[in-house]
Chains A and B, each alone.
Chain A
Amino acid sequence: MKAFTFERARTPAEAAAAVAQRPDARFIAGGTNLLDLMKLQIEAPTHLVDVNALVLDRIEETRDGGLRIGALVRNSDLAADAAVKRDYPVLSRALLSGASGQLRNRATTAGNLLQRTRCPYFYDTAQPCNKRQPGSGCSAIGGVTRALAVIGASPACIATHPSDMAVAMRVLDAQVETVTPDGQTRRIPMADFHKLPGDTPHVEHALTHGELITSVLLPAPVAGVHVYRKVRDRASYAFALVSVGAIVRPDGSGHVAFGGLAPKPWRVEAAEASLGKGAKAFAAQAFAGARPTHDNAFKLLLAERTLAGVLQSVKAA
């Protein structure tokens, strides 16, 4: 691990200003992803701003009947929150399907959104990676691609976004609230939060340097059966090959987002009008333009069939 200096921020604005002052500074909250990457020198900040003392660990109702989830709410607490379990079970289920009990006790809401890809070539510092070293090339293309992206990728990067929680946040139309280094607040819809790689795969989200996530806002609950179904190589403690986050109404209409397929939670709103026609029709529209490799083409069929299973379980419920 490279040497770094350390400070503890007392307010969100102070934290944002402290990181903005130095190009190589980073926030640290749970640390479950950042420290792992620092040990491998994939991340090498020269200064860390600890945000754990900020009062951003609450879950509160908003005036429009939604929820404000503090950036520091731990994944295990968010999954177990009474209002989340009752009104947003897709979010509880997504969180519980990820990581381990120990990691969920530390990992935060904001950190989960900002976690980096688990592409093995991103982790292998002996090989080029455009995310790790912009312009160096993509070792994954032409490499072992079974777990990598089938849609939304680019000739510069085929990494997936690893978060389960973000898939639920996307299907729930959450908004990310931030404070910028100059003290302003803004809201970013989940649809715009994560960026597709294009030719700048190192740019993964809409935040500017020093901009701090303070909360995630959920709109009023959406009626329907909430389901999060994850398919992976092990029964527990593994990243998704494919996951489906869905809110489905009794008439078959609803909202669907996928994990494991793309560099961001994959949701195609235009396809949702055809959800009542079944998984095949929906998948044809939602996965139009997919560019799978020989080794990961199975993901498209797996995603369609996982959705079919979800729709069937809702019908049976």
Chain B
Amino acid sequence: MDDVRVCLSRRDVLIASAASATVNAAGAANRETAMSSPDSPAALSRVTLEVNGKAQTVDVDTRMTLLDLLREQLKLTGTKKGCDHGQCGACTVLLDGRRINSCLMLAVMAPGAQVTTIEGLGEPGRLHPMQAAFVAKDGYQCGYCTPGQICSAVGMLDELQRGMPSHVTPDLAVKPLLSAEELRERMSGNLCRCGAYSNIAEAITLVAGGAA
């Protein structure tokens, strides 16, 4: 038994435990449904959407969030589940180019949507400038919030480019520029429990400066 454990990588163990957790969760959900409302069993629905440029047709439980679809069914585990309640930003992806919390969207609400995850922004060897900047500036410690931070930062800079104001924009009539204050306000939906904020801010500033 010990020998087998030694052979497993940390990732293998995580995948195995995630799979059993999924089975357990599904079992619990079915039991609960059966007990509480016997006349409303789990409903399935077919959805076609585009994820990282690739068309995907999936059958999902109506309760499945976009986040769980990405992670559990499409195996795009770069997008992280933090709070699962729209409070931490770890699940941030781009939906039709705009940043959203994928934990607060149902997969069945996404037919025809174009979703970009951290895997779709870039991969080793051809990193997105924001990914490269996070590496260059050491914009993380544990890395769990990083995919959400990066997707959010890409969406945020696009919002700025389009002239969208923020809470700290001094004059609504003037196109906002990226300042330290604007950056912090606009990224407030992404929490980093390690507190790597100063390096995250430097990474985003590096990309924004390069784009200007």
Q: Which of B144-162 contact A (CB under 8 A)?
A: 152, 155-156, 159, 162
Task: Give the residue of B32, B43, B99, B109 whose beta carbon is less than 8 angstroms from that of A101.
Answer: B99
Considering the complex, give the chain B residue whose CB is closest to the CB of A40: B85
Considering the complex, give the chain B residue whose CB is closest to the CB of A236: B188
Task: Give the residue of A6, A36, A96, A235 whose beta carbon is less than 8 angstroms from that of B43.
Answer: A6
Does B23 reach chain A (CB closer than 8 Å)? Answer: no
- B84 touching A5 by the CB < 8 A rule? no
**Of B4-12, B34-42, B117-125, B132-140, which binds chain A?**
B34-42
Does B62 reach chain A (CB closer than 8 Å)? Answer: yes
- B63 touching A106 by the CB < 8 A rule? no
**Of B163-171, B192-200, B204-212, which binds chain A?**
B163-171
- B165 touching A236 by the CB < 8 A rule? no
A182 to B155, CA, bound (A): 41
A1 to B156, CA, bound (A): 31
Contact with B along A146-188 (1 / 0, CB 8 A): 0000000000000000000000000000000000000000000
Using a Cβ–Cβ cut-off of 8 Å, how many residues does chain B contribute to the interface with A? 50
Does A272 reach chain B (CB closer than 8 Å)? Answer: no
Instruction: Please give the distance in Å from A232's CB to the nearest CB on chain B.
Output: 11
- B167 touching A101 by the CB < 8 A rule? no
Indicate whether A31 sits within 8 Å of B106 (C-beta atoms), given known contacts A100-B89, A101-B155, A102-B152.
yes
Contact with B along A28-45 (1 / 0, CB 8 A): 101110011001000000
Instruction: Please give the distance in Å from B83's CB to the nearest CB on chain A.
Output: 10
Tell me which residues across on chain A come within 8 A of B21, comparing CB atoms: none
Indicate whether A92 sits within 8 Å of B106 (C-beta atoms), given known contacts A2-B37, A36-B86, A103-B101.
no
Does A50 reach chain B (CB closer than 8 Å)? Answer: yes
Considering the complex, give the chain B residue whose CB is closest to the CB of A104: B189
Tell me which residues across on chain A come within 8 A of B156, comparing CB atoms: 101
11 residue pairs from A and B, CB less than 8 Å apart: A1-B29, A31-B105, A80-B165, A93-B172, A97-B167, A102-B92, A102-B101, A105-B100, A106-B100, A235-B188, A236-B167
> Residues on A close to B: CB < 8 A?
1-6, 8, 28, 30-32, 35-36, 39, 46, 48, 50, 52, 76, 79-80, 85-86, 89, 92-93, 96-97, 99-103, 105-106, 235-237
